[in-house]
Structure 1
Amino acid sequence: MQPPAADSSAEAPAERQRAHEEPLPGTEDVMNGQLGPTGRPLPEFPVPPPLTGHGPARVIALCNQKGGVGKTTTTINLGAALAEYGRRVLLVDFDPQGALSVGLGVPVNKLDVTIYNLLVERGHDIRDIVHPTETENLDIVPANIDLSAAEVQLVGEVAREQVLSRVLRPVLDDYDVVLIDCQPSLGLLTVNALTASHGVVIPLETEFFAMRGVALLVETIDKITDRLNPRLQIDGILPTMYDGRTLHSREVVASVVDHFGDQVFHTVISRTVKFPDATLAAEPITSYAATHSGADSYRQLARELVARGGAA
């Protein structure tokens, strides 16, 4: 049997991978202080000055009821970028899948006590459950599949929407920023996260179907602001998985900016193979590939969040 003839398409996967690592069209304009990927002039976001002290923390929920939009990736890498700038950051894994914990090398299946126990049992101290990571200034409160039972168990609790607020209270003075990685739903766990937070970052995949649920999420945030947490505000909508070579990605970003205006971050997170690679290595992209454009994007997001007043 003759071997199949050589086909130029055999090189396509490698070519596609290299294409993901190349600068996207329009990047030169950003570098020259002209238009950024969102079609708006890109401001200069200065490196935040060092802090003279730590705390109290500003709590930020990363939330979108649609899965696969980059919530966990953003929680890890935004946290690591803020930690690089000298901020003390606590990550809270609030998704029963435990992807945030796994993505930072925490052996979730071997843990006896997690965020689940803090929510449903008395007598635990959150300080005993906080795990340091390999990244300086970055700690995590882990989760595993046990957390899936918490929603049912909290239904009968008094002030059930405020349980996470109580759990986090003892450590707020120890950190500058707390980032909560929410599960892809608008159930009681997500309501707890929003009730405990000062701000919300909404990662949004640059794909038309991903836009459909944002209006419902914003409506939920408005209800929580009105009924449970008057201080809650949207810190920004973050376009993720962006590919500026496709008309589809560019049109989605333009549509999001048309609908939400300045609530959309100037920073856009481009699609790259380095993010799953860093996840497999169980470390942030800021250390796994420190000079990569993906790492630079999250550093820019950290600077923009500080410049907007969303972090110290």
Structure 2
Amino acid sequence: MRLAVCSSKGGVGKTAMAANLAVALARRGRVLAVDVDPQDSLGRAFGVVAKSGDDSLAALLEDPSADARAVVRHDVTPGLDLLPSHPSLETAAAHLATTGGLVTSVRRVLRPLVGEYEHVVLDTRGDLGGLTLAAICAADAVLTVFTSDPGSAVGVARVAAFLEQQRTYENTSAVLVGVACAVWDQHGRAAREVAGALDGTDLPLLQTRVPLSRRVPTSTLAKRPVVLSHPTSPVATAYLALADEALTAAERVQR
């Protein structure tokens, strides 16, 4: 599975979702986590910071002849390698957008790597711009995230519409395999209303909900995803179950 984790806005737990799903999937085989966000949040979730654009995804987008394997950080956690980002990715993407090379850029970079991994997890920036599309173009599955905030339900609909539009344009063949709930406040009225509203659509709403937990921001500060730092906690258990559910959904769609 090549999974792009997307949202149309920030602050919905997207990067925590991507990091923990990547760790969970690494229990099933080797995983490459790819940071396609100039804010390099996914790398930071694992304590990996590119010192310059030269040892990040940005360099690979700028130079088609560059060796992607030289940039990948190996065994960041057991079974998981990481392709880090850097703020210079913004400039590299802007240049590629003017030449028409942005949409397929991430797919091109990953082409020599994907055969070495059972799964690839791509974390995107919190918008539906060119870099997000480039990540989706490199994926075969997409997962989006909502929270107890009613505005996040609108964001889910935007991601679904964006993906369908890009499939119509033949920019991607990726399929929306899951709409996942993060930061779930089981006692909140707004949370129940958001979940109820999404339940009434034909979107692929995943049943597992990641509960609101202080362990998630704490693990981010500790640069160790909660599935590793507190593996038996309810929030880690939810991420593990969600990874299984997303993988099952992807396998079903791809049959």
Q: What residue in structure 2 maps to residue 309 of structure 1? A: 250
- Deviations along 1:122-156, whole A, 9 cap, x unmatched? 32111111112442111110011111112211123
| Amino acid of the structure 2 residue aligned with 1:98 | D
Match among 130, 142, 147 for residue 188 of structure 1: 130
State the shift of 1:110 in Å. Answer: 5.4
Deviation at 1:184, TM superposition (A): 1.1
Partners of 2:224 and 2:74 in 1: CA distance: 13
Residue 107 (structure 1) aligns with: 49
Query: What are the superposed Cα offsets for residues 4-31 of structure 1, whole Å, 9 maximum, x if unpaired?
Result: xxxxxxxxxxxxxxxxxxxxxxxxxxxx
1:230-265 Cα shifts (integer Å, max 9, x gaps): 53110110011111111111111111111235x000
Q: Which has the larger radius of gyration?
A: 1
Q: How does 1:157-306 map to 2 (within 5 A)?
A: 157-229=99-171, 231-261=173-203, 263-306=204-247
Q: Which has the higher strand share?
A: 2
Question: Which whole-Å deviations, capped at 9, do the CAs of 1:167-200 have from their partners, x for residues lacking one?
Answer: 1000111001111100012111111111111010
Q: Any residues of structure 2 matched to 1:48-59 within 5 Å, and which? A: 58-59=1-2
Question: Which shows bigger deviation, 278-287 or 174-183?
Answer: 278-287
CA shift, 1:309, in A, is 3.3
RMSD: 1.8
The one-letter amino acid of 2:74's match is P
Any idea what the Cα deviations from partners look like across 1:19-74, whole Å, max 9, x if unmatched? xxxxxxxxxxxxxxxxxxxxxxxxxxxxxxxxxxxxxxx21111112101111101
Measure, in 2, the Cα distance between the counterparts of 1:306 and 1:71.
17
What SS is found at the alignment partner of 1:160?
Answer: coil
Contact 1:104 1:133 in 2 (8 A): no
Q: 1:69-84 counterparts in 2 under 5 A?
A: 69-84=12-27
Q: Which residue number in structure 2 is paired with residue 64 of structure 1?
A: 7
Q: How many residue pairs were aligned? A: 253
For structure 2, the residue ranges without an aligned partner over 5 or more in a row are: none
Describe the SS at the equivalent of 2:143.
Answer: strand
Q: Secondary structure at the match of 2:176?
A: strand
After superposition, the C-alpha distances for 1:198-244 in whole angstroms (9 at most, x for unaligned) are: 01000112211112233222221011111124531101100111111
TM-score for both structures, normalised by structure 1 = 0.77
Cα distance in 1 for residues equivalent to 2:227 and 2:172: 34
Q: Is the 8 A contact 2:146 2:180 kept in 1?
A: yes
| Residues 258-308 of structure 1: CA deviation (Å, up to 9, x unaligned) | 1235x0001111110000111111112112011101110011011112222
Distance in 2 between residues matched to 1:107 and 1:155, nearest whole Å: 25
Deviation of the 1:159 alpha carbon: 4.3
Q: 1:162 and 1:300, CA in 2 relative to 1: closer, same or farther beyond 3 A?
A: same
After the TM superposition, which parts of structure 1 deviate over 4 Å for at least 4 consecutive aligned residues? Answer: none
Q: 2:3, 2:140 within 8 Å by CA — same for their partners in 1?
A: yes
TM-score, normalising length from structure 2? 0.93
- The one-letter amino acid paired with 1:305 is A
Superposition deviation, residue 158 in structure 1: 4.1
> How far did 1:80 drift?
0.5
SS in 1 for 2:69: helix
Which structure 1 residue ranges, 5 or more long, are not aligned? 1-57
